[in-house]
Amino acid sequence: MSYFHTNNGEQGKTGNYKFSPKKPVRSFRDLEVYQKALECSVLISSDVAPRAKEFGYLHHDAMLQCALSVPLLVAEAHSLRFADFALALGYIEKAMSSCNKAVVYLDQVKGLYGTKANPDLLEDIASRYVFTRLKMFRLERSWRKFMDRDKQDGVVNSDIK
């Protein structure tokens, strides 16, 4: 069983930090980056985009497509990670780029329509995208470490034969 570090400032049994068991990933739906990206996509689709369309925002459709592209790219990357690892990493990079684009759309709506567009909600969603992008970066590093370790094990195993 693997564990991850949750530094919330509390003293745990193992020292200065609490440790919690990490849930195994059985599908892309178990990935936190997918879940968080989907949350943002739903918020944009249900709350932000309809209001932006009412205001006459010209990039309404592009914002919706961008918001949906993030969880879609994560799902595709997860599916490709063993078949074509380089392509899977490319999809994660595109998902991170889409997170940045979504923040730009949200900032533009906030700048154009001010308090009419619920700036607190827009800022909340933007900060969620920034957090999700950071998590994707860490996921990419984790996948790289796993594949590097797998390659090393393959080299060791081929030397034994």
Phi/psi of residue 2, nearest 5 degrees: -100, 160
Phi/psi of residue 19, nearest 5 degrees: -120, 140
**Gap between the Cα atoms of 110 and 44, Å rounded:** 13
Q: What contacts 20, CB < 8 A, 6 or more positions away?
A: 3, 4, 6
Instruction: Convert the pLDDT of each residue in 91-131 to its tens digit.
Output: 999 999 999 999 999 999 999 999 999 999 999 999 999 99
Domains located in the chain, CATH noted? 24-143 (1.20.1440.60)
Burial class (CB in 10 A: 0-12, 13-18, 19+), 119: middle
Q: What contacts 75, CB < 8 A, 6 or more positions away?
A: 28, 34
Instruction: Convert the pLDDT of each residue in 6-22 to its tens digit.
Output: 444 444 455 556 666 66
Residue in this structure with the two tokens 């797998």, named with its chain if needed: 150
Model pTM?
Answer: 0.78
Contact in structure between 6 and 18 (CB atoms under 8 Å): yes
